[in-house]
Amino acid sequence: MGRRRRGPDRSRGEPARRRRRRRARHGHHARRPRRPPRPGGWTVTAAVPLDPSRPPLDDLTDRLGVAVDGELLQRALTHRSFAYENGGLPTNERLEFLGDSVLGLVVTDTLYRTHPDLPEGQLAKLRAAVVNAKALAGIGRGLRLGEHLLLGRGEETTGGRDKSSIVADTVEAVIGAVYLDRGLEVATGLVHRLFDPLIAESAGLGAGLDWKTSLQELCAARSYGVPEYVVDESGPDHAKSFRARVRVNGALYGDGRGRSKKEAEQQAASTAYAELQDADDPPAAEGA
């Protein structure tokens, strides 16, 4: 009696990819679905360790009004000081770079459409009144970004959670994270929610927030000469304060203080601009 021939052994010689596919159909080795690629091919390459003492990120996304990938949002909140102390984790600097461009595009487009008759120079001043470190830091504080930041020990002990430069940079990084995860349309909506009040106010700012340039232009137009600044600094290295005074034709017209030389000079220039704008007579040197 002859031997009964068996069918071919389907498990032998079968390509591995086809074998995995066949097993998956029968419930073997089920895999999690892959996340769709991010816009432009950007990927997250490393997770940030979680700190249980920090408020949940859901609190922040509620304030943003946008659901954002948690891993990307953690990256946006990771300052370089924390990254270096934890084995060289990725920082938020690339997201900040991206968010700065998205923010600039949305604000510039809005100003261009809102003010069809303004020349380029005035549009640039209005944009500077909206997109600047002081304005960004104010928005970041309104979002309470400081309590979510991942900072190194040095920044933590010197008040980094409320440092304007860090908070401002983090706002841009968060915008970059929203753009990567949700695309330009959602990121544009976020920028409008956060910045539209500033955009509306910018129309009434006149000189904008670049008071040094505005003061120089005013002095040139009226042949007052070039404004001269004197800046003094005081305090320890980690908490310096600055005082700036500006003279026009030798006369003191502005006095300002700030946590940076630039901030103090801008305050002094703002005061001087207001004084000279309303002056009927040209400035006279003290003692003249």
In a domain, 234, yes or no: yes
Rg (CA), the chain: 28
Give one DSSP letter per residue of 209-269, joined into a string: S-HHHHHHHHHHHTT----EEEEEEES-GGG-EEEEEEEETTEEEEEEEESSHHHHHHHHH
CATH number at residue 85: 1.10.1520.10
- Supply the pLDDT for residue 194: 96
Catalytic annotation, pick one of 96, 155, 172, 265: 172
Per-residue pLDDT tens digits for 156-172: 888 889 998 899 999 99
pLDDT at position 17 is 58
Segment 27-46 shows an average pLDDT of 44
- Kindly report, residue by residue over 159-207, the tens digit of the pLDDT: 889 998 899 999 999 999 999 999 999 999 999 999 999 888 876 665 4
Tell me the average pLDDT across 56-64.
90
Is 100 assigned a catalytic role?
Answer: yes
Q: Is the pLDDT assigned to residue 25 strictly greater than 70?
A: no
What DSSP letter does each residue of 4-67 carry, written as one string? PPPPP-TTSS--HHHHHHHHHHTTTT--PPPPPPPGGG-----PPPP-TTSPPHHHHHHHHTS-
What residue numbers bound the domain in which 250 lies? 211-277
Q: pTM of the predicted model, to two decimals?
A: 0.61
Residues 173, 223, single domain; the answer is no
* Residue 286: active-site member: no
> What is the residue whose two structure tokens read 């052994």?
9
| CATH of residue 269 | 3.30.160.20
Residue 104 lies in a domain: yes
Find the catalytic residue in 96, 100, 181, 263: 100
Share of the chain above pLDDT 90, in %: 41
**At which of 184, 202, 220 does a domain end?**
202
Q: How confident is the model at residue 277 (pLDDT cuts 50, 70, 90)?
A: confident
Higher pLDDT, 49 or 142: 142
